[in-house]
Amino acid sequence: MSACWRLRLKALSVTLSLCFTLGASAAEFAYITNQGEHTVSVVDLRQLQVIKTIPVGQSPVAVAIHPQQKKVYVSNVDGRSISVIDITRQQVVQTLALPIAPVGLAVNQAGNRLYVADWYHHSLLVVEPVHGQVLASIEVGQAPGGLQLSRDGQTLYVANRDSNDVSVVDTRANKELRRIKVGEHPFGLGLSPDGKQLYVVNVYSNSVSVIATHDQRVVATLSVGRHPYCVTTDPQGQRLFVTNTGEDSVSVIDLASQRPLAKIRVPGTPEGIAFDRQQQQLVVTSWMDNVVAVIDGQRLDSPRQVKVGAQPRAFGGFVFEASE
């Protein structure tokens, strides 16, 4: 065999190896919004490394993912826009200009409606994501931040930071039905795996309000650390995890007994949090230290760190898990 053919075969082997590696790792990504540098870090959750840094609009904050369409929506609060990332290509394929400064995001199961929290005008926008047309503006409470759709997509919950309540919105009628009083400065929201409980993080009250979704009332208040921010559960709905920005920790709560199990030390000012079901690990962003901490979901110790961009937030559902 000639030296030329040997070189060609070697190059082909390297190319195929890279393709198979990318294909295997493409099943799990975390999309980390770096507010301080206007980018999104794409973290491979198996290899625990950044595989790409994607420029987006100014001051990206929240993330909403539609896994079937393989689209990531990113709210750019100072850019007054939403960046749309194609997961297959790992690049921005569209930018939706908005008349507002968007914060929280949610996308419905059909992928034909985006819900956008309007931080300064106390409203919720309903946006058609293909052309960016605003279909409706719904009045909610003051300074809306976190958004959470119900399992059937017919109800949207909105955390209103400055009015200390949660709006309950009918997504079929595009109408606010009621407001539920919670603790002081609610921000992050999470839903139990069975959809029966909504968890509301109260930043100034150092607590989480538990709302029963069948009758929209607060049934418990759970104490956590100082200045909590975001919340998630494990896939079984047995444990609750809450980031505490004021003490660099994650509170772990047993949901059956509603008692604290542990506090995990993490890098400075933890904000966004999600549970990676395939690898059974917690993913936590650190605003101050510019890293993502990855914590074993069973042992709950010794976080590994992945360096990302400046001032990462990853507010919302930032983990993409594709079926193998």
- The answer as to whether 18 is a domain residue is no
- The answer as to whether 173 is a domain residue is yes
What are the respective helix, strand and coil percentages of the chain, to the nearest 5?
Answer: 5, 55, 40
pLDDT at 301: 84
The residue among 205, 213, 160, 220 whose CA lies nearest residue 187 is: 160
- The answer as to whether 1 is a domain residue is no
Q: Give residues with Cβ within 8 angstroms of 110, minimum separation 6.
A: 153
Strand partners, 134: 127
Instruction: Express each pLDDT in 163-198 by its tens digit.
Output: 999 999 999 999 999 999 999 999 999 999 999 999
| pTM, entire model | 0.91
- The answer as to whether 10 is a domain residue is no
Give the residue carrying structure tokens 């961009």: 309
pLDDT at 322: 79
- The answer as to whether 50 is a domain residue is yes
- Total domains, the chain: 1
What's the gap between Cα 7 and its chain centre? 45
The stretches in the chain having pLDDT less than 70 are 1-27, 323-324
pLDDT at 323: 63
- The answer as to whether 6 is a domain residue is no
- The answer as to whether 306 is a domain residue is yes
Half-sphere exposure of 204 (CA within 13 A, CB side): 9
- Full residue range of the structural domain in which residue 104 is found: 25-321
pLDDT at 54: 98
The residue among 195, 227, 224, 226 whose CA lies nearest residue 211 is: 195
CATH of the domain at 69: 2.130.10.10
Give the residue carrying structure tokens 């709560």: 253
- The answer as to whether 259 is a domain residue is yes
Cα–Cα distances in angstroms (integers) from residue 204 to residues 55, 148, 225, in the given order: 33, 20, 10
Cα separation, 38 vs 58, whole angstroms: 5
